[in-house]
């Protein structure tokens, strides 16, 4: 994996994006046509940053558990490609297919971290058009 970090604005909101560009040459869109976005709302007011400094460790634990659950419920059919940080919110984008059932991540994660607001949405992204648009945004700087 080659992770790229860049600052941008999304819908007028300052954001920091961490994007895995290792799929830029060959996107496994036929095998992984579904895109899951998981949102984790911070518990503390970010105070001018993306999250409150005192919450860093807790957010890292949430992220580690989220990725572990994605591996568990992904059955080898899920890849984590992007994280977006904006004030008070972390969003994770994962492509999946096969017999993966990433909808199970949310209740499991909420059980592990009951104080966090966690949301899930899923869409079909044939051809990985969203991913291609993220690569283009990264290239624009």
CATH of the domain at 10: 3.30.70.600
User: What pLDDT, on the 0 to 100 scale, is given for residue 1?
Assistant: 54
| 0.85 exceeded by pTM | yes
User: What pLDDT, on the 0 to 100 scale, is given for residue 139?
Assistant: 87
Structural tokens at position 57: 């460790």
**Domain range for residue 107?**
3-140
| The Cα angle at residue 94 between residues 21 and 2, in degrees rounded to 5 | 20
Find residue 6's DSSP bridge partners: 17
* Domain total in the chain: 1
Structural tokens at position 79: 């890849």
* CA–CA gap between residue 57 and residue 37 (Å, rounded): 22
User: What pLDDT, on the 0 to 100 scale, is given for residue 138?
Assistant: 87
* CA–CA gap between residue 12 and residue 19 (Å, rounded): 19
Q: What is the pLDDT along the chain (141 residues), one digit of tens a residue?
A: 589 999 999 899 999 999 999 999 999 989 999 999 999 999 999 989 999 999 999 999 999 999 999 999 999 999 999 999 999 999 999 999 999 999 999 999 999 999 999 999 999 999 999 999 999 988 886
Structural tokens at position 66: 């989220």
Q: Are 42 and 58 in contact (CB under 8 A)?
A: no
* CA–CA gap between residue 130 and residue 119 (Å, rounded): 19
User: What pLDDT, on the 0 to 100 scale, is given for residue 131?
Assistant: 97
User: What pLDDT, on the 0 to 100 scale, is given for residue 44?
Assistant: 95
User: What pLDDT, on the 0 to 100 scale, is given for residue 141?
Assistant: 66
* CA–CA gap between residue 94 and residue 70 (Å, rounded): 8
């Amino acid at each position: 994996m080659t992770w790229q970090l860049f600052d941008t604005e999304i819908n007028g909101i300052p954001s920091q994006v961490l994007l895995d560009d290792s799929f830029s040459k060959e996107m496994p869109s036929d095998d992984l046509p579904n895109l899951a976005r998981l949102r984790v709302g911070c518990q503390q007011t970010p105070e001018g940053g993306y999250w409150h400094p005192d919450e860093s460790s807790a957010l890292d634990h949430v992220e580690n558990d989220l990725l572990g659950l994605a591996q568990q419920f992904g059955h080898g059919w899920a890849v984590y490609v992007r994280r977006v940080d904006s004030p008070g919110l972390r969003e994770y984008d994962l492509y999946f297919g096969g017999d993966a059932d990433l909808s199970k991540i949310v209740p499991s994660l909420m059980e592990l971290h009951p104080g966090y607001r966690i949301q899930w949405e899923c869409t079909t992204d044939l051809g990985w058009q969203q991913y291609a648009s993220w690569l283009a945004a990264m290239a624009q700087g």
